[in-house]
Amino acid sequence: MKAAEAIIKCLQLEGVNTVYGYPGGAVLPLYEAMRKLDMKHVLVRQEQSAAHMASGYGRVNNKVGVCIATSGPGATNLLTGLATAHMDSIPLIAITGQVNSKKIGTDMFQEADVVGASESFTKHNYLVKNAKDLPRIIKEAFHIANTGRKGPVLIDIPKDIQDEEIEFIYPSEVDIRGYKPTISGHSKQITRIVEQINNARQPILCLGGGISSSGCNKELVEFVEKAKMPVVCTLMGVDGFPNGNPYFAGLLGSHGYPFVNKAMNKADLIIVIGARFADRSTAVISDKNASQYVIHIDIDPAEIGKNVKTHTPVVGDAGAILRQLNTYDYTSEISSWTGGIMLERKRYMEENLNREWDVQGANPCKLIKSISDKTGRKAVVTSDVGQNQIWTAHYFLADESRRYFTSGGLGTMGYSLPAAIGARMAADNDTTVTAVMGEGGFQMLMGELALVREHDLDIKVVIITNERLGMVRELQLNAYGNESYYGIDIGFNPDYMKLAEAYNIKGYLIEEDSQIDEVLEKAYETNEPCLIQCRVNPDFPTLAHWRWR
C-alpha cells in the first residue's frame, strides 16, 4: 500500500470521515489517496479556515478534527488556526505536505520549516522521515491530541515519502515514554479541598474550558448543588455550567461582570477548575486579599500557580476530581453570600437589557438575548473576537447542549464563520448554528461564505456592524481618551445585502430594536442559511460602566 493511502486508512480507523483542507503540489499523493478511499474533503477558501473548521467540527462531539495543507504558504496559513487551538486546548490533527525529503533545506519551491515554526504552539509535531513510521505516528498523534491537556498535533510529510510503498499495520495501542497524564487527584489534596469548602464563608468556583473538554458537565452540576457555592467562568468556560442555574453568576475578568470581579476580590476561597487563570481573567483580581485561599485543579501541572499564587495544587482530569469530590458532604453556611451574588446578577441583567441608550441603532445586547431566546434547546453559537464576543458571552445562555465556541486565548479574528461551518457539519439536525461576528472579523475570512451555500448549511450568519474596529476603539478610549481614536475606521463596507445575494443567501438588515424579533422569526423559521446585518452605533459599549463618548 502507498504511504499516502495508509495515512487515509489510519484516519478512517480513528473514525474520521471528513477533513478540511486545500490541495497543492506537496500533497498530491495524499489527495489521490483520499479520492480512491472515499474520504470526504471540504475545500476551504483559505487554509487558516481549515484549522478553525476542524476545531468547530471536533468541539461539537468532543472529538479530534483533521485539517490538511500543502507545503510552504499552505502550511504557514494554517499556523494561526493551530495557535488558536493550542491556546484553547482544542484537539486537532494537522497534516502538511513537505518538499521531497532529500531537498529539505535547499529553499526549494514552496519549502517552509513548518515543524520549527509551529513548535511553540502545537502540543507535539512530527517531521516524517521514514514512511514505515506513519501508522505509529498517526496513532500517537491522535492519542497525544486527545488526552491530558488536549491540543493540536502537526504531522509534516515529504511528498516522496507519501509515494513510498509500505506494509500497513495499524497499532492497537500507544506507548509513549514519559507521556502519562495524571487523571485522578491525590486523595490528601481532595480531603484538603473538602475541609477548605466546609470552613469557607465566601467561596467561589471558577470554571474554564477544561469542563467541556473533560465532558463532566453533569458531575459539575451535582457538585455545585451539593456545595451550594456561586459559579463564575472564563470565556472558555461559558458553556461549562448551565447559565440559567440559580448558582451561576457569570463571566469574570477584564470584560466580565463588575459584580463578579468584586466578588472574586472578596472571596475567602477560590476553586479554579480546568482554567489557565490567564491575564484576561485575573487582571481585575486584587492581590490585597491576603486571607484568600486558592485551589487550582488542572490536568496540566505547568498551568498551576503560573499566574496566581496557589495554596493547594491538584493535578488531574476535571471529571475524575469532581467525581471524587461528589463522594463527600458539604456543611458550610454560605446561603447569604451566594444569594447576594445571585441578586446582583439579576439586577445587572435587568438594568442592562432595559436601559435606554442615548444612541441610535440597534442594541446588540438585545439582539444576542433574542438569539438566545429564539434558538432551541440544542444550539451552537460561535463568536469572533471583539465587542461581538463579549456581548455574546454575556447574553447567550449556554450549557452543555447550548454551546458557545470562541477563540478565548489567542483572540483570533475570522474564527467565527469557519468554526460555525465545522460545527454545522458535525451537529445533528436538531441543533441550530449561529455565527456572530463584527465586520472586521467577517471580512478576514468572508470567502468561506461560499461553503455555506455550496454545502447548503443551515447557519445564521450575524454581522454586527458599526464601521469601526469596535473593541480596539473602546480600548483606545479607555486608555487615552476620546481624542485618541486612530486606525480603527473601516472606510468602506460592502453592501451586505447584495453580498448575501451574490452568494445566493437570504439577507436581512436590522437597524433598530423594533426589527430584531421580526427578522429573527423569519431567519429561524426555515432550515435555510441567511445573513443578518445588525447596525450598531459605535458608541455602544461592551460594559455599561466603561467610560464612553
Catalytic residues: 47, 109-110, 159, 471
- Taking the C-alpha atoms of residue 121 and residue 151, their distance in angstroms, rounded to an integer, is 9
All three cell numbers of 450, joined, read: 461560499
Give 358's DSSP letter: S
Q: Strand (E) positions, 150-292?
A: 152-158, 203-207, 231-233, 248-251, 269-273
Task: Enter the C-alpha cell of residue 50.
Answer: 481549515
Strand partners, 403: 380
- Three-state DSSP state, 537: coil
Residue with cell 483606545: 476
Can you state the percent helix, strand and coil of the chain, rounding each to 5?
45, 20, 40
- Across the beta sheet with 506-510, what order do the strands follow? 402-405, 379-383, 432-438, 459-465, 530-535, 506-510
Which CA distances in Å does 91 have to 62, 124, 215, 298, 485? Answer: 9, 11, 14, 17, 39
What is the C-alpha to C-alpha distance for residues 11 and 134, in angstroms, rounded to an integer? 11
HEC per residue, 494-513: CCHHHHHHHCCCEEEEECCH
Q: Which three cell numbers stand for residue 100?
A: 521531497
3-state class of 479 per DSSP? helix
**What single string gives the DSSP state of each residue in 273-342?**
ES----HHHHTT--S--TT-EEEEEES-GGGTTTSS--SEEEES-HHHHHHHHTTS------HHHHHHHH
Angstrom distance (rounded) from CA 295 to CA 191: 12
CA distance linking residue 62 with residue 394, whole number of Å: 24
SS3 131: helix
Rounded Cα gap, residues 428 and 210, in angstroms: 24
Q: How far is CA 80 from CA 131, 208, 278, in A?
A: 28, 22, 20
Q: Would you tell me how many other CB atoms lie within 10 Å of the CB of residue 38?
A: 9
Strands 459-465 and 248-251: unpaired
382 forms bridges with which residues in the sheet? 405, 435
- Phi, psi torsion values for 276, nearest 5 degrees: -80, -15
- The CA distances from residue 504 to 236, 476, 530, 531, in Å, are 34, 38, 9, 10
Q: Which helix (H) or strand (E) holds 201?
A: none
Burial of 359 (0-12, 13-18, 19+ CB in 10 A): middle
Phi (first) and psi of residue 492, to 5 degrees:
-145, 130
